[in-house]
Amino acid sequence: MAAPLQYSLLLLPFLCLFLALAFSSGEADRKVPAIFIFGDSSADVGNNKYLSGGKNITNNFLPYGIDYPSTNGRNATGRYSNGYNGADVLAHKHTNHKPKYRSPPPYLSLKIDNHTKEINITQAKKNGINFASGGSTLLWESNCSVISMTQQMEDFRNFWLQLNETMSSQQIDQLLSKSLFFISIGDNDIGAFLHEAFPNYDIKFPSFISNLTATYGNHLKDLYKLGGRKFGIANFVPIGYIPKVKERCNHELEVLMNNLSSTLPGMKYSIGSSYDVFMKIIDNPGALDRRQYLFWDDVHPTEATTRVFGDLVYNGSTEYASPINFKELAEDDNDLISMY
């Protein structure tokens, strides 16, 4: 199942390095009240499984989940991994390796009424929600098997409306302004663009990247308007066969985030560098059995890879996360601007 490291560079983009972006914990020693996660398969912890009624054929079978600890035996969990994904890895890290921890649950697992879109608001407030969906994009709409970023935003807005029924404006402000918003999205858009535009991608690229970053920026501004202030962003993963596309996309993402933080009072962010972590792993391989592999399947990393990414993005230097690392982002409450 796993792809040997020496062959991995020939595979599709390293979509899942972001998975270590999620901080969550139990009530004890938690530095943030909640975390809200958006994105694609790099962040999905089971939404696609619920979306398909448990029949998702892309990852809802062993050996996916073979290393995920369970009291009910080995079962696929909806994660695109052999075990923990990065959300789990940093949840553990964020609670100082306490034995009991949980990543934010998938949004669809919290639904009480499909007609009214009511969710279990008590559980949602406890440590956050994961809205991510494998295969999701910025520029295309949802279908029966994928939840687009636009729909994920609608789902968050539904959660926000329910908060307003149970909490004061000040309480919502306190919750959301101190919570962490993590996003890993856009790699599927880039892959689809290259597939459709090749070999004339140079001509169409300026229009594509402008549309991509504008759409990304609009979603970030919407989250800011609803109360988000702390944003952890995974940059676009290495696309080895056309490196300049990846480099240009990541440059434009940096420009976008800098511009937004300069114009939106109190906004803070950290960009995790998938590319630099990827290259570090390539340059320093070495482990046993599944841990010696970079990829778990054609495009998704092993649990071992996400652990490396978690260490470097959470505690590392600006080479791996900038302008601050994710630990600093989680702990920084200075100059957070209220909505009210």
Helix H segments across the chain? 5-8, 47-51, 86-94, 121-127, 149-166, 169-178, 187-197, 201-225, 243-263, 274-283, 303-315, 326-331
CA distance 304 to 185: 22
Share the mean pLDDT of the chain.
Answer: 79
284 in a domain, yes or no?
yes
Least confident of 53-67, 120-134, 310-324: 53-67
99 in a domain, yes or no?
yes
249 in a domain, yes or no?
yes
- pLDDT tens-place string over residues 105-144: 999 999 888 778 889 998 888 888 999 998 899 998 867 7
Q: Is the omega angle on the peptide bond into residue 323 within 30 degrees of 0, that is, cis?
A: yes
| Count of domains forming the chain | 1
Q: By CB neighbour count within 10 A (0-12 exposed, 13-18 middle, 19+ buried), where does 121 fall?
A: middle
Judge contact between 253 and 235, C-beta under 8 A: yes
151 in a domain, yes or no?
yes
Average pLDDT over residues 236-257: 83
Does the pLDDT value for residue 165 go beyond 90?
A: yes
103 in a domain, yes or no?
yes
Does the pLDDT value for residue 215 go beyond 70?
A: yes
pTM here is: 0.83
336 in a domain, yes or no?
no
- pLDDT tens-place string over residues 291-316: 666 666 666 767 767 777 777 888 88
CATH of the domain at 63: 3.40.50.1110
Judge contact between 82 and 63, C-beta under 8 A: yes
Long-range contacts of 59-65, Cβ-Cβ distance < 8 Å, separation of 24 or more = 59/134, 63/1
pLDDT at 129: 93
Domain range for residue 19?
5-331
100 in a domain, yes or no?
yes
Rg, the chain, Cα only: 19
